Amino acid sequence: MGQIVFENVTKEFRDEKRGVVVAVNNASFTIEDKEFVAIVGPSGCGKTTSLRMIAGLERQTRGDIKIDGRIVNDLRPKDRDIAMVFQDYALYPHMTVYENMSFGLRNLKFPKAEIDEKVHEAARIMGIEQLLDRKPRELSGGQRQRVAVGRAIVRQPRVFLFDEPLSNLDAKLRIQMRVELAELHKRLQTTIVYVTHDQVEAMTLGERIIVMNDGIIQQIAPPDELYKRPRNMFVAGFIGAPTINTTTVKYDGKAIVSPDFTVEVPEALKGRLSSYVDREIVLGIRPEDIHDANITRLKGEEAMISPRVRVVEYLGSQKLAYFDLNGKPFTAQLPSSSRIEPNADWALAVDLAAALFFDAENGWSIVGN
Ligand code: ATP
């Protein structure tokens, strides 16, 4: 079992220079048993503090934390049955891999034979059996990472907490370890809470993702829902690479009107925008929803634009074209078959059916009535 519940949890720090810092602000969520949940957000948004409160390394200022239905507010870290893997791995440098992995169980006075069995089983799962006699300094970054995870597995805890575990690895190794962690989760069937500032890591690993900003939970949803139905402009801008394009436009009841283009609004969209007639709204367009009009079969509902293309980047399977629209930088993600050229005006079609709309005043998504 490993269900984690936050009920109106707030954590304040008293900082000499900054006064009271609200690191986590009234957070409520349930992480189900065996779920893989990623907590993502920019630096300083409260991710690590949330994790440390689950582990019991930090005491919340207000609210309750429950594990498997039991309030754990006053339970010490070692009594919570949780294993945490940090960014810097925190391996003991003077101990061998075997000693590092067995340390926790030795402290808990497990019988030697049982420790030996558990360490070898964890080493086998992580593919590090041949490294058991080495010291951490004799290992590569990836191997150290595997040892750190192996050490956490040995204890068979009810919850694993990962705090940016891959950020010290190079890009290729990071992808490899990402795949391994996903497989590990399937195999262990244990709850994992995974903190990262990297939205790609969160999107690829998390069954659900908690997006935080400034101590406040912005949205909790599976990856595809976050991408397709972000609740506000922050989530829309944080999730997705290249970043979503946004521009402020006006809706006159029939058409979207802006300096660089005007387009009739399809009937299906009118209901959604009905309370925004003659008001400013923010139009959000993902780069892949802008098409090269020369090579795309159009539906007739697109906004046609012909911006001056500034730069084209060739990425093998696709091309990224950069241009300005309504005075804002825009990116289009086109197939590599597009012949788009820089320093030329190019006919592009913006797919309004895929557009996101936000209230220009408060940044909330306009989902209609
Ligand atoms: P990062 O990705 O940079 O690690 P984070 O999202 O994990 O950031 P936290 O480490 O949880 O953010 O910090 C949230 C806020 O709380 C920040 O403003 C941070 O400066 C503050 N904070 C965290 N720990 C303390 C502390 N011990 N004393 C004072 N302020 C703190």
Dist. CA 350–CA 326, nearest whole Å:
14
- List the Cα angle 220/328/353 in 5-degree steps: 55
Going along the chain from its start, the domains and CATH numbers come out as: 4-238 (3.40.50.300), 245-249+281-367 (2.40.50.140)
pLDDT value for 32: 97
- Per-residue pLDDT of 210-224, as tens digits, reads 999 999 999 999 999
Pocket test for ligand 1, best of 24, 25, 48 (most atoms within 8 A of CB): 48
φ/ψ of 149, rounded to 5, equals -70, -40
What is the tens place of the pLDDT at every residue in 110-149?
Answer: 999 999 999 998 898 888 899 999 999 999 888 888 899 8
Helix/strand/coil (H, E, C) string of 258-295? CCCCEEECCHHHHCCCHHHCCEEEEEEECHHHEEECCC
Which residue matches tokens 């005043």? 361
Query: Considering the entire predicted model, what is its pTM?
Result: 0.91
Residue 43 CB–ligand 1 contact under 6 Å: yes
Q: Is the CB of 24 under 6 A from ligand 1?
A: no
- Is the beta carbon of 117 within 6 A of some atom in ligand 1? no
Considering only CA atoms, which residue is closest to atom 5 of ligand 1? 44
* CA nearest ligand 1 atom 3, residue: 43
For residues 293 and 64, what is the distance between their CA atoms, to the nearest angstrom?
55
Q: What is the pLDDT of residue 82?
A: 92
Find the mean pLDDT for residues 307-328.
Answer: 96
Q: Is the CB of 49 under 6 A from ligand 1?
A: yes
Q: Contact, 205 vs 36, CB < 8 A?
A: yes
Tens digits of residue pLDDT in 28-45: 999 999 999 999 999 999
State how far Cα 23 lies from the chain centre: 18
Does the C-beta of 213 come closer than 6 Å to ligand 1? no
pLDDT tier, 368 (very low <50, low <70, confident <90, very high otherwise): low
Say how many Å lie between the CA of residue 167 and the centre of ligand 1.
17
- Report the pLDDT averaged over residues 200-205: 94
More confident residue, 195 or 299: 195
Q: How far apart are the first and last CA of the chain?
A: 40
Share of the chain above pLDDT 90, in %: 74
Q: What is the mean pLDDT of the chain?
A: 92
Q: Give dist(CA 298, CA 353) in Å, integer.
A: 12
Q: In this structure, are residues 53 and 11 in contact, taking their beta carbons and an 8 Å threshold?
A: yes
**CB-based burial of residue 334 (10 Å sphere; 0-12 exposed, 13-18 middle, 19+ buried)?**
buried
